[in-house]
Amino acid sequence: MNQNAAPADAGLLVARATEMIKAGRFGAARPIVAALQRLIPGTADAALLAAKIAIQDGRPADARRLLDDAIDAAPENTELRKARAEVLTELGQLPEAAMDAAEAVICDHTDPAAKALLGYALLRLGQAEQAVLCFKDALGGAPKNPAVYPGLAAAEEACSRPEAASLALAAGIAAVPGDVGLRNAAILLQAKQRNFASALSLAEAARRDGVVDACLFCLYAHSLSSLGRHDEAAWAYAEALKLGPEDEYVRHMVAASGVRPNSPRAPAGYVRAVFDGYADRFEAHLISLGYRVPGLIRAGVIDHMPSLVQQHESCSARIGPVLDLGCGTGLVAVACSDLRIGPLVGIDLSARMLACAGNKQLYAELHEADVMDALQSDTREYRLVLAADVLCYFGALEDVLARVYARLAPGGLFLFTVEQLESSAAGWMLRAQGRYAHAQAYVNVASVEAGFQIRELRAESLRQEAGAPVPGWFVVLERPGPEGAK
């Protein structure tokens, strides 16, 4: 790269770097973008490209800084506003993201991508009716953009209009028949409503139209098995595995179907895919299911640590630090926010769940990590570790119990929930929904073998599903030691 190249050459370089980034060739684009930052510093083109690289490298805060400077210099540049809206969304700063998306629409009211971005921002802010209007407007200008239809469908769903959501996806499929994402979204929507016959006919139509995809086969298999057609489902799961042998989502769903032997835990890639895609709806959905686990954890902390849990401001004693494994969007922190516990350290695999937790400003630290890795790399001692509705993504509990034990101070407590497995013949079982259930005897033995004393192991309803309570175990373990935790 000739650093003395005249700025006239910059246009060519911008076009090349843009193409490379579009094609996912970030390594090749990197030196060109670095050169552009020297050649045309502070310009919108250089900032946009450098921000894309920063996002790819997992440095959203750097991307934001680059875009802030560029927007200061060119506040009406639509591309910069759209890019910053995406970065702010990634950082969980949703109102600011919506402001940038709205500015982009104001700067160029013919830009469908800006309108779609505004739609997604409003949807995440819970303003679903306005989001519907934005998506419809965006589709008016770009009816063949497959990324807009799922947004419209999600917004219609959030407005409790499942029919309209199905129609939106059907319109998307008619406009872009080869788009796998739209096909899968349409099938998933029917499966979520337990319309397995419709899900199956959509999957069959996709196959007839020549759409070949591992996820599609998984959904096809799930519909078949839900309709009792188990042999065909087994075949379809095997096909899914052939198409996506390394895809952790596919592998886990195939394992959950019973076609492959149970793996001892849900793979990180599966958990990330599920919860990154679920983060926006997580809290509203769980509230609608009467989710009880954060409340059970709060009551457990009060019952088992009465002298440390002072609700009175004048008392300075705190339990902290407290580890919240699989903290998700931070519901446990909300439930315990008036208790004198903390500072809270949250661990989760899903960046999007963590962004929601970050918005609550209740955690001193949030780490994007697997709980197994975090428990190993963190060398601090905790008096309280919590895992609300997280160990249902682990089958075998021995390793995780051993790692929690190692992190606990003598007398420290571990509070968690798991889903109930009625038959005690097997210690744990992966169920078709992709979550594990555990037998009481197994939880008992695994806890004692890890060195814990069992303070409590009792049956509790965790939430409602299909109109019935989901039974679970609420567990309080103590690492024995000279000091009690009272």
Ligand X SMILES: C[S@@+](CC[C@H](N)C(=O)[O-])C[C@H]1O[C@@H](n2cnc3c(N)ncnc32)[C@H](O)[C@@H]1O
Binding track over 366-405 against ligand X, x by CB under 6 A: ----xx----------------xxx--x------------
CB nearer ligand X, residue 204 or residue 368: 368
Rg (CA), the chain: 25
* Closest approach of ligand X to the CB of residue 434, in Å: 11
Among residues 322, 317, 296, the alpha carbon closest in space to that of 408 is found at 322
Q: Is 348 in the site for ligand X (CB under 6 A)?
A: yes
Residue with the shortest CB distance to ligand X: 328
What is the number of H-type helices and E-type strands within the chain?
22, 9
Give the residue, chosen from 206, 219, 331, 446, that forms a contact with ligand X under the rule CB under 6 A: 331
C-alpha distances out from residue 157 to 94, 112, 169, 404, Å: 20, 22, 11, 40
Among residues 71, 124, 70, the alpha carbon closest in space to that of 95 is found at 124
Stretch that binds ligand X, among 75-83, 169-177, 320-328, 455-463 (CB under 6 A): 320-328
Give the residue, chosen from 327, 351, 385, 437, that forms a contact with ligand X under the rule CB under 6 A: 327
| Contact predicate 362/345, CB 8 Å | no
CB nearer ligand X, residue 264 or residue 484: 264
* Closest approach of ligand X to the CB of residue 271, in Å: 4
CB nearer ligand X, residue 41 or residue 469: 469
| Contact predicate 275/351, CB 8 Å | no
* Closest approach of ligand X to the CB of residue 35, in Å: 39
* Closest approach of ligand X to the CB of residue 296, in Å: 10
* Closest approach of ligand X to the CB of residue 66, in Å: 29
In b/e form, how buried is each residue of 172-190, taking b as 16+ CB within 10 angstroms? bbebbeebebbbbbbbbbb
Q: Is 349 in the site for ligand X (CB under 6 A)?
A: yes
Q: Is 113 in the site for ligand X (CB under 6 A)?
A: no
Q: Is 182 in the site for ligand X (CB under 6 A)?
A: no
Stretch that binds ligand X, among 80-88, 211-219, 246-254, 328-336 (CB under 6 A): 328-336
3-state DSSP assignment of residue 437: strand
Task: For residues 361 and 333, give the distance between their C-alpha atoms in angstroms, rounded to a whole number.
Answer: 9
Task: For residues 334 and 297, give the distance between their C-alpha atoms in angstroms, rounded to a whole number.
Answer: 11
List the structure tokens of 164. Answer: 């309209």
Q: Is 263 in the site for ligand X (CB under 6 A)?
A: no
* Closest approach of ligand X to the CB of residue 413, in Å: 16
* Closest approach of ligand X to the CB of residue 352, in Å: 9
| Strand intervals (E) in 320-395 | 322-325, 344-348, 365-368, 382-387
How long is the chain? 486
- With residue 470 as reference, give the H or E element that holds it: strand 468-478
Q: Is 350 in the site for ligand X (CB under 6 A)?
A: yes
Task: For residues 134 and 139, give the distance between their C-alpha atoms in angstroms, rounded to a whole number.
Answer: 9
CB nearer ligand X, residue 164 or residue 402: 402
CB nearer ligand X, residue 122 or residue 349: 349
How many residues contact ligand X, by CB under 6 A? 20
User: How many other CB atoms sit within 10 Å of the CB of residue 241?
Assistant: 21
List the structure tokens of 428. Answer: 């744990």
Q: Is 437 in the site for ligand X (CB under 6 A)?
A: no
| Contact predicate 353/282, CB 8 Å | yes
Amino acid at 125: L
Stretch that binds ligand X, among 52-60, 77-85, 241-249, 342-350 (CB under 6 A): 342-350
Q: Dihedral of CA 109/113/119/124: which sign? A: negative
Q: Which of residues 269-298 bind ligand X (CB under 6 A)?
A: 271, 275, 293-294
* Closest approach of ligand X to the CB of residue 85, in Å: 24
Binding site for ligand X (CB under 6 A): 271, 275, 293-294, 326-328, 331-332, 347-350, 353, 370-371, 388-390, 393
